[in-house]
Amino acid sequence: MDSWEDIKLFLTNIIWGVMRFKDKVVIVTGASRGIGRATALAFGKEGASVVVNYVKAAKEADSVVTQIKKLGSKAIAVKCDVSNEGDVKEMVELTIKTFGKLDILVNNAGIVFDIPFFDKTTEHWRRTIDVNLMGVFFCSKYAAIHMKKQKTGKIINISSTNGIDTLSPDSMDYDATKFAVISMTKNLATELAPNITVNCVAPGWVDTDINKNLSKGYVKEEIRRISLKRFGKPEEIASAVLFLTSDEASFITGSVLVVDGGYQ
């Protein structure tokens, strides 16, 4: 384990029996960095076997796997472009082959092109839709096939406050997909009930690599609009995901949990 804090957490979980996800199998898409990475590690700390999905960042994904194993849990890294139906089907099948089941899917993978409207190309729009929306469809479909056989399962979709009421013209294609993900969440919750729950987490500003190139002036102005006066941490979004996939949230489905620090 990397640190004394990790050792203490691991031992505490064993002593007090708070490994909420012991023996659970989880796929986290886009798990090599940011919110996905934090979520994969959070599940690993609580005993889950984790499939760390990535599309390009193999080294980073392998690092997440290594950290999860040091915490005493199982993990594998799987290269898969979620916009490719064949890739997704193979990832889910590999998960079942390796761990024997699939309990939780976290649809986190996403991209954004912050480009002025008249500079947007058809390729920008199509790629954004393919990853952010079709990826959720493909992963949910093939995960749900197995979950229905098990008569149990949980799906979490990562949307954004941009899909609710935050306007950003330079990312209107991203905003449209995140709005659609919320609609898909509600529809899937109805379609897959009563044995599979489907919920959505809508983060506001989070301190991740995707936001690292924002200007200092813009960041300062946005922080002014956040009640808690800071960007969120990836781990704080991960905590919301773990809550919605835990037994404590067994009577919650079709819901959207906004995690934005009180953005106004």
Active-site positions read 174
Q: Which residues, at least 6 apart from 148, have a Cβ–Cβ distance to it below 8 Å?
A: 192, 195, 196
Q: DSSP label at 231?
A: P
Q: For residues 158 and 108, is the Cβ–Cβ distance under 8 A?
A: yes
Q: What distances in angstroms separate CA 97 from CA 146, 194, 237, one per listed residue?
A: 12, 26, 29
Residue type, 199: N
SS (H, E, C) 185-221: HHHHHHHHCCCEEEEEEEECCECCHHHCCCCHHHHHH
What is the maximal distance between C-alpha atoms in the chain? 58
Q: Is the peptide bond before 194 cis (omega within 30 degrees of 0)?
A: yes
Q: Which residues, at least 6 apart from 23, have a Cβ–Cβ distance to it below 8 Å?
A: 47, 49
Q: Is 181 exposed, middle or buried (0-12, 13-18, 19+ CB in 10 A)?
A: buried
